[in-house]
Amino acid sequence: MTESEFNQQIDATLLQIEESLDECEVDIDYENSAGILTLELENGSQVIINRQIATQQLWVAAIDGGYHFDYSEDAGQWQLDRDGSELYVVLNRLLTQQSGEPVKLAP
């Protein structure tokens, strides 16, 4: 994947996450600044999603640690580099843990 294609994929993914947050029943504020999407929960905790151009990965930072995702063109989705879990599965788990409420974002 070229750097341009990578950036287009990241931008589309971040927009998709924002749209999913707008439809979410749990109150999660977000801000996208310079390609860094910061999600803030009612309790003040945050989940930060950003791009890593050098490794062509999408990184997610949460209270319980950092997660690195590679884009699988075959699967058409971002997958966790350590076990292949899909991005939205991991985001839903992290946001549910941090908010204390069930979060169901959909791509």
Query: What was the pLDDT predicted at 34?
Result: 85
Share of the chain above pLDDT 70, in %: 100
DSSP state of 60: E
Contact 28, 41 (CB under 8 A): yes
Domains and CATH numbers, the chain: 3-98 (3.30.920.10)
What pTM did the predictor assign? 0.92
In tens, the pLDDT along 57-102 reads 999 999 999 999 999 999 999 999 999 999 999 999 999 999 999 9
Whole-number Å distance between alpha carbons of 65 and 57: 16
Q: Taking all residues of the chain, what is their mean pLDDT, rounded to a whole number? A: 95
